[in-house]
């Protein structure tokens, strides 16, 4: 395993991190514990979760993922072996489907942050989080696959200065070691850094955004913040919900897969351009005797602005295959072939 400093923090995180958002829908508590055990045995030390997991979030299951991790921590006594991160949900984007999280009013203000953090700590059976993140912005902007900026006013959004002040109080209280953002834009990252410097408050050390062979938008503006400002990328969906393994090509929906069950209507990767790009990347992997997952992950963790790539898997076999990416060194030929597809079909699935 290789480790990298997370932004300008004192945290060293494994270049592959353990994503957990299926635990509670596709994975049982026993499955979750087995994944943690294998991950730690192979050197993974970073576990990422969120109060709303598993996704899609539901009133009956939200907070289950944290409970699964918490029961493992309580039983194992290995809190010190794990870099643990969680997230507070942002305001409901779909009120009809998210009212179960603080009545759909989960703003990034004092009441919500304190309530959400205390709940996560209790479920996780820990006194502190190594990293606490804002799951998505408390304002109208483009994230979660929205290409166009909405250009709407924010009558009710909580200002970043207030959010930072409350998070600083949690750091001072010892409940949180470092703070980060997720699904953020270059403007948002710049604002957080500006207010931290102006007010002498803790800086964000990470941004958790999508990054994969199908979505390289992070390179266009945010990567420079990683380079020059010490804000590391925690890359989520590096396998694009498993689409980059090739298992969904031609409309296939293998039994037990994400797109065959809880994500039946999720179609970000079903466009003709995305399917063409995926087929091309799968062919490159086969040509060089790699699994498609290993090629996709090796490409992501090769980037200097990536602190950790968060893999999500439903089986131990998938986790073992993902770990094989650590042994892959991308040749100049592979890089050129990947770039040729990207130039022809850039970012088909943001």
Q: Is 53 an active-site residue?
A: yes
Q: Residue 95 pLDDT > 70, yes or no?
A: no
Mean pLDDT of 171-186: 98
What's the CATH code of the domain at 105?
3.20.20.100
| Structure confidence by residue, pLDDT tens digits, 17-39 | 999 999 999 999 999 999 999 99
Say what the pLDDT of residue 267 is: 72
- Judge contact between 231 and 207, C-beta under 8 A: yes
Percent pLDDT > 70 in the chain is 96
pLDDT per residue as tens digits for the range 44-63: 999 999 999 999 899 999 99
The catalytically annotated residue of 53, 68, 211, 269 is 53
Structural domain includes residue 77: yes
Please give the model's pTM, rounded to 2 decimal places.
Answer: 0.96
- Does the residue 89 lie in any domain? yes
Q: How many domains does the chain have?
A: 1
* 346 within a domain of the structure (yes/no): no
Contact 210, 350 (CB under 8 A): yes
Mean pLDDT throughout 294-302?
Answer: 98
d(CA 266, CA 252): 14
Does residue 144 form part of some domain?
A: yes
- Is residue 258 a part of any domain in this protein? no
d(CA 206, CA 49): 15
For residue 198, pLDDT over 90 is answered with: yes
Q: Quick: pLDDT tens for 179-196.
A: 999 999 999 999 999 999
Which pair of tokens denotes residue 34? 């087995």
**pLDDT for residue 94:** 74
Q: Which domain holds residue 232?
A: 3-242+301-328
**Strand pairing class (306-311; 12-14):** unpaired
Residue 193: inside a domain: yes
Q: Report pLDDT for 224.
A: 98
C-alpha distance from residue 56 to each of 254, 265, 289, 316, 347 (Å): 19, 11, 35, 22, 24
The CB density around residue 143, as the number of other CB atoms within 10 Å, is 18
């Amino acid at each position: 395993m290789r480790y990298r400093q997370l932004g300008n923090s004192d945290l060293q995180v494994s270049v592959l991190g353990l994503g957990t958002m299926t635990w509670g829908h596709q994975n049982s508590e026993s499955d979750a514990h087995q994944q943690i055990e294998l991950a730690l045995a192979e050197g993974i030390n970073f576990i990422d979760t969120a109060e709303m997991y598993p996704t899609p979030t539901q009133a009956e299951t939200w907070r289950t993922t944290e409970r699964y991790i918490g029961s493992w921590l309580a039983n194992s006594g290995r809190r010190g072996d794990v870099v643990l991160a969680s997230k507070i949900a942002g305001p409901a984007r779909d009120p009809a489907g998210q009212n179960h999280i603080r009545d759909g009013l989960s703003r990034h203000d004092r009441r919500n942050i304190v309530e959400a953090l205390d709940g996560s700590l209790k479920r996780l059976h820990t006194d502190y989080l190594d990293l606490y993140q804002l799951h998505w912005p408390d304002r109208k902007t483009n994230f979660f696959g929205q290409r166009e900026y909405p250009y709407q006013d924010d009558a009710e959004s909580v200002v970043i200065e207030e959010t930072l002040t409350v998070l600083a109080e949690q750091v001072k209280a010892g409940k949180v070691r470092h703070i980060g953002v997720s699904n953020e834009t270059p403007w948002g990252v710049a604002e957080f850094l500006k207010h931290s410097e102006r007010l002498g408050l803790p800086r964000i050390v990470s941004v958790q955004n999508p990054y994969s062979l199908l979505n390289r938008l992070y390179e266009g503006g945010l990567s420079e913040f990683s380079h020059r400002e010490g804000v590391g990328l925690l890359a989520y969906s590096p396998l694009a919900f498993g689409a980059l393994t090739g298992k969904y090509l031609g409309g296939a929906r293998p039994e037990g897969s994400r797109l065959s069950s809880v994500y039946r209507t999720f179609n970000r990767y079903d466009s003709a351009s995305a399917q063409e790009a995926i087929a091309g990347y799968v062919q490159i992997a086969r040509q060089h005797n790699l699994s498609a997952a290993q090629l996709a992950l090796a490409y992501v963790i090769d980037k200097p602005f990536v602190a950790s790539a968060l893999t999500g898997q439903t089986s131990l076999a998938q986790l073992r295959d993902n770990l094989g990416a650590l042994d892959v060194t991308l040749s100049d030929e592979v890089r050129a072939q990947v770039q040729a597809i990207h130039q022809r079909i850039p970012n088909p699935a943001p």
